[in-house]
Structure 1
Amino acid sequence: MRMRLGCRLTFDLPAPTPMILLLNVHYSRASDLERPDLLVTDPPVAIEAYRDSFGNWCSRVVAPAGLMTISTDGVIRDDGRPDPADQSAEQIPVELLPAEALAYLLPSRYCETDVLSDFAWAQFNHEPQGWPRVQAVCDFVHEKIRFGYEHSRPTRTAVEALNEGVGVCRDYTHLAIALCRCLNIPARYCTGYVSDIGQPMPHSAMDFAAWMEVYLGGRWWVFDPRNNDTRFGRVLIAQGRDAADVPLTHSFGRHELKGFEVWIDEVGEADEPSARLQQAL
């Protein structure tokens, strides 16, 4: 299937402000892009592209004072299949893990494994290792946290999400990642698009999404504790230890978000209708 995806963010800045942007589709999906989701700014400014330490595509700009709009709009081909699953995927002992997976066992800014370790073992030690244990973590987090944009707070950690029982998708993901790491299962944070394809109507306002990947059976697998169901049309933007590594936008100065639109919609082979745009001011 073909999907049109993109975003439009508008900022009000009191002074010229350097910014880092992670808004482009991940390099692992580059070959699927029929029309690249090139970054466009209004007013036009110089854009410097680079790869961060996790391999994500990033852009640097200096936003001028006043209103500035940053947007992307692309078309991607997707196989239309749900997230892969393998109930038999086994947990790999720490001493046998590849070196690149070890960083995803350690505590990070929003995932305090040192604080949650005793709780995680008491809660999940009875669960079978491997896929069933990770699914048990996702089931627990999905039931424990009540979703609501009114509960969003950019500084909330996994421990705070557990104690408060409210949050948005990044809070579900941080808590699930922290619990998996406590159980010696490498887990990393992912951000990107998740479409509403196959979901019952009415659809809620579109937003960027957060989920996790865990290392089982020699490869990384997608788990989504926020939705905790079968999803189609998932498109990765960036991955890291937690949200601190992969903020969609990071400004080195004051700014106010004035407009926020995200879209990902299926389009036909012969035409490309206007995407459904949802705006939250």
Structure 2
Amino acid sequence: MLIRYGYDITVTCAQDTPMLTMLAPRAERADDVRSPDVVVTSPQTATTTYSDMFGNICRRFIAPAGDLQIWGDGTLEDSGAHDPAFWEAQEIPVALLPDDCLIYLIGSRYCETDRLSQIAWDRFGHLTPGWGRVQAICDFVHQHITFGYQDARSTRTALEAYEERIGVCRDYAHLAIALCRCMNIPARYVNGHLGDIGVPILDPMDFSAWIEVYLSGQWTTFDPRNNIPRIGRIVVARGRDAADVPLIVSFGPHLLTSFRVWTYDVTE
């Protein structure tokens, strides 16, 4: 199947302001691209790209004073398969984990493992290690937090999401990540495009956040917000938590004037 994805964002700055964006699909999907990810700015603004320490594609530019529209659109091929489940997947002892997994075991800006550790062990320490325990964590988070766009707060941490029991997809992801790390299971934050392919349309199109967990020697997808297998995820960025993968980084004041995202399947 083919999936069309894109965004139309306008920011307003009082003066020329350096910015970064993370809006492009990761390089791993390059072979799936059928219509290149075209990026247009208005007024026309010079941009450059680079890969950050996590392998995310970052676009760098100076936003001119006034309004700047950033528009991107592309199409890629997808298998059309649902997220796979590997119920036999096992947790790997910390001593045997690859070096590059260890960073996803420790606390980070939004995932306070030190303050959630006892809660995690009390709730999940008795469960059989492996896929089933991670799914139990996601089931708990899915049921514990009530979703609502009106409840979004950029500073909410995993512990605050646990205590307040409200949030948006990033809060579900942060709490699930923190609880997994408390159980010595590497977990990382993912954001990207996830359209309503194969499911009822419930929410306006938006960028989504989910998680990846390291089991049986590979990273696998879990989604505590939706908590059902989905079709057509397009990963934009991965990191320790949302602090590593902001859609827009502004090195000076700016106002987000408009924000529109689209992701849907198209006829080949």
TM-score range, shorter chain: over 0.9
Q: Which amino acid letter does the alignment assign opposite residue 128 of structure 1? A: T
Cα distance in structure 2, aligned partners of 1:249 and 1:39: 15
Cα distance in structure 1, aligned partners of 2:44 and 2:238: 28
> In the comparison of the two structures, how many residue pairs are matched?
268
Q: Which amino acid letter does the alignment assign opposite residue 5 of structure 2? A: L
Match of 1:199 in 2: 199
Aligned residues of 1:207 and 1:262 also touching (Cα < 8 A) = yes
Match of 2:153 in 1: 153
Secondary structure of 2:228's aligned partner: coil
Deviation at 1:128, TM superposition (A): 1.2
Q: Which amino acid letter does the alignment assign opposite residue 223 of structure 1? A: F
Deviation at 1:164, TM superposition (A): 0.5
Q: Which amino acid letter does the alignment assign opposite residue 229 of structure 1? A: I
Match of 2:19 in 1: 19
Aligned residues of 2:190 and 2:238 also touching (Cα < 8 A) = yes
Secondary structure of 1:221's aligned partner: strand
Match of 1:209 in 2: 208
Match of 1:229 in 2: 228
Deviation at 1:40, TM superposition (A): 1.8
Match of 1:64 in 2: 64
Aligned residues of 1:24 and 1:39 also touching (Cα < 8 A) = no
Deviation at 1:39, TM superposition (A): 2.3
Cα distance in structure 2, aligned partners of 1:72 and 1:120: 41
Cα distance in structure 1, aligned partners of 2:125 and 2:137: 11
Q: What is the correspondence of 1:125-204 to structure 2 with a 5 Å cutoff?
A: 125-200=125-200, 202-204=201-203
Check if 1:40 corresponds to 2:40. yes
Cα distance in structure 1, aligned partners of 2:11 and 2:21: 13
Structure 1 segments, 4+ long, off by >6 Å, are none
User: Per-residue CA shift, 1:194-240, capped at 9, x if unaligned?
Assistant: 1101112x442100000000000000000000000120011100100
User: Per-residue CA shift, 1:142-170, capped at 9, x if unaligned?
Assistant: 01111001000001000000000000000
Check if 1:220 corresponds to 2:219. yes
Cα distance in structure 2, aligned partners of 1:234 and 1:55: 18
Deviation at 1:7, TM superposition (A): 0.5
Match of 1:273 in 2: none
Match of 1:272 in 2: none
Deviation at 1:13, TM superposition (A): 1.0
Cα distance in structure 2, aligned partners of 1:174 and 1:128: 23
User: Per-residue CA shift, 1:166-187, capped at 9, x if unaligned?
Assistant: 0000000000000000000000
Cα distance in structure 1, aligned partners of 2:22 and 2:54: 12
Check if 1:5 corresponds to 2:5. yes
Report the identity percentage: 55
TM-score (norm 2): 0.99
Between 252-261 and 236-245, report the one with greater CA deviation: 252-261
Cα distance in structure 2, aligned partners of 1:109 and 1:165: 19
TM-score (norm 1): 0.94
Any gaps of 5 or more consecutive residues in structure 1? 270-281
Secondary structure of 1:244's aligned partner: helix
Cα distance in structure 2, aligned partners of 1:197 and 1:128: 33
Q: What's the Cα RMSD here?
A: 0.8
Aligned residues of 1:50 and 1:59 also touching (Cα < 8 A) = yes
Secondary structure of 1:108's aligned partner: coil
